[in-house]
Amino acid sequence: MRRVVCPGSFDPVTNGHLDIITRAATFCDEVIVAVAHNVSKRALFNADERVEMLAEVTKAQDNVRVARFDGLVVDFCRANNVSAIVKGLRAVSDFDYEMQMAQMNYSQAGVETLFMTTNPLYAFLSSSLVKEFAKYGGDVSGLVPEQVIDRLTSRVQEQ
Ligand code: PNS
């Protein structure tokens, strides 16, 4: 079985993430969306909430499942018999750090990383920017899945 992992913080999931997950699901048997529990940046949503939102927005996709992980992504891969990580690259600015992580993950654990180019429609999109936009009253429809809009707008208002 060809199983890949799409790891990330997903705080919250955006339409850019969803595009990568959906496209990855067309060329492999199973995609595990792995939600990092301990993100260094202060998260707006806790890990359970981020998992819940992802499960909701991917529920129609039979070969996608969502899990959370602590620690190294390569340990998660090993424990789940995953041979490759799939990452979206939005711009050249993503490349340096992503390549460094990919090489570290391959050299230390033999886990491959496959890069997919982000759909140009979402090339500017990041969870951080979406949170900031929502915080100051911006309209986030079209940027995050429908199921996330209300949760995001009410959470930023509570802050
Ligand atoms: O959505 P993000 O914040 O870009 O996701 C980054 C993430 C969580 C995928 C990355 O930081 C990660 O894999 N963290 C787990 C710890 C790890 O394995 N780090 C890589 C060391 S080379």
Q: Cα separation of 22 and 96, whole Å? A: 25
10 CA: nearest ligand 1 atom: 1
Tokens (6 digits) for 44: 């707006």
End-to-end CA distance of the chain: 44
Q: Torsions phi, psi of 92, nearest 5?
A: -60, -30
Residue nearest to atom 7 of ligand 1 (CA): 8
Active site residue 59: no
Q: How far is the CA of 98 from the centre of ligand 1 (A)?
A: 9
Q: For residue 10, what pLDDT is reported?
A: 97
In the beta sheet, which residues pair with residue 5?
Answer: 32, 85
**Beta strand segments in the chain, E:** 3-8, 30-36, 64-69, 84-89, 112-117
81 by DSSP, 3-state: which?
coil
Q: For residue 40, what pLDDT is reported?
A: 66
In the beta sheet, which residues pair with residue 113?
Answer: 85
Q: Please enumerate in sequence order all residues whose Cβ is within 8 A of that of 112, keeping only pairs 6 or more positions apart, or say none.
A: 83, 84, 85, 106
Q: What is the mean pLDDT of each run of 10 residues along the chain (159 residues)?
A: 96 98 96 89 91 98 97 97 96 94 97 97 96 97 97 94
Q: How far is the CA of 26 from the centre of ligand 1 (A)?
A: 24
- Taking a C-beta distance cutoff of 8 angstroms, is the pair 86, 20 a contact? yes
Q: How far is the CA of 8 from the centre of ligand 1 (A)?
A: 6
Residue nearest to atom 18 of ligand 1 (CA): 72
Active site residue 9: no
Q: What is the number of other CB atoms lying within 10 angstroms of the CB of residue 152?
A: 23
Q: For residue 41, what pLDDT is reported?
A: 66
Q: For residue 95, what pLDDT is reported?
A: 93
Active site residue 93: no
